[in-house]
Amino acid sequence: MDKFIQGCMKIKDLPIKDIRAIIDANLENGINVFDHADIYGAGECETVFGKALKEDSSLRDKIFLQTKCGIVKDLSCHRYDNSTNYILDCVHKSLKRLGVEKIDRLLIHRPDALMNPEEVAKAFDRLQGEGLVDRFGVSNFSSSQISLLQSALRQKIECNQVRVSIVHCPMIENGINYNRYNEGGVNRDMGTLDYCRQNGIQIQCYSPYKGTNKSFIGDFKFRKLNKLLKEYAFKYNVEPNAIAAAWLLKHPANFAVINGTTKAERVRQIVKAKDINLTRSEWYELYKVVGRRLP
């Protein structure tokens, strides 16, 4: 199972040499999954990544390309669309922008209130049958939405991409606060964490270092968290971002952490989390330091 994925949401303005540096930093550390979406940079992120691939024909075989579709960034009406034709059209456009013949894994980016599972199934069958997409997953889906969609599919839903971090983890909080009248007891997860674990669906954690509108790492608003991250970083001889990643990797669900950094150096810092096994007390201290209480 993947421990890390490189997110490509913010690469649109990077020179190709910097994109190549990120690709290399990941590959050198055994990370080969690169996460895209048709909407990142209005398609520009896939385009510039495609340019980096084009510069070195040996790269494509080393890389596992994941992209997503289903969010419509139409200025007249922001909406979702999981219909057959929409999915097919998106994939053809992503293939063109990336300059590749196949997407390794396609994710439905968000559940569409008007989604008909049979329509998604039709799109997946066509795409797989034509050799355009190998594997499939979802993002921001609840357990029952995954179950509904899976019931119509021949392909396995392999992953669910969800926002999870030390500062944003309703799926973890809810399990600890079951049957309580407090904030943590509000069921925002709807059993999705346990469902994914039971069904071999890997949770891909997005925005693992995001605070309110910027990274919580070094942000004064998260002063106590940063103090603790620094303390553990010193103990394990890493940077604080590696501790934030180690907190996610410690969870027995085998999360994958999607790093959205645009800096190769930060990839090298974060990957050191693979060798860190936080103690249970360290894990719970990080859980609590942002103001949470245990029952």
Ligand X SMILES: NC(=O)c1ccc[n+]([C@@H]2O[C@H](COP(=O)([O-])OP(=O)(O)OC[C@H]3O[C@@H](n4cnc5c(N)ncnc54)[C@H](OP(=O)(O)O)[C@@H]3O)[C@@H](O)[C@H]2O)c1
Please, what is the minimum distance in Å from the beta carbon of residue 249 to ligand X? 14
Nearer to ligand X among residue 11 and residue 132 (C-beta): 11
Q: How far is Cα of residue 116 from the mean position of the Cα atoms in its chain?
A: 24
Contact positions toward ligand X, by CB under 6 A? 7-10, 35, 109, 139-140, 161, 206-210, 215, 217, 241, 258-263, 266
Residue among 4 and 177 whose Cβ is closer to ligand X: 4
Minimum Å distance from CB 179 to ligand X? Answer: 30
Are the beta carbons of 160 and 137 closer than 8 angstroms?
yes
Instruction: Please state, in angstroms and rounded to a whole number, the distance separating the CA atoms of residues 88 and 91.
Output: 5
Q: How far is the CB of 181 from ligand X (least distance, A)?
A: 30
Smaller CB separation from ligand X, 177 or 215: 215
Exposure string for 187-214, b = 16+ CB within 10 A, e = fewer: eebeebbebbeeeebbbbbbbbbbbeee
Question: 43 vs 185, which CB is nearer to ligand X?
Answer: 43
**Nearest distance from residue 87's CB to ligand X, in Å?**
16
Which of residues 105 and 109 has its CB atom nearest to ligand X in the complex?
A: 109
Q: Encoding tokens for residue 180?
A: 């309580």
* Phi-psi category of residue 191: left, alpha or beta, with phi > 0 → left and psi -120 to 50 → alpha: left
The verdict on whether 40 is a catalytic residue reads yes
Minimum CB separation of residue 295 from ligand X in Å reads: 29
| 177/248 with CB nearer ligand X | 248
- Closest distance between ligand X and the C-beta of residue 277, in Å? 20
* Whether 264 contacts 258, CB under 8 Å: no
Active site residues: 40
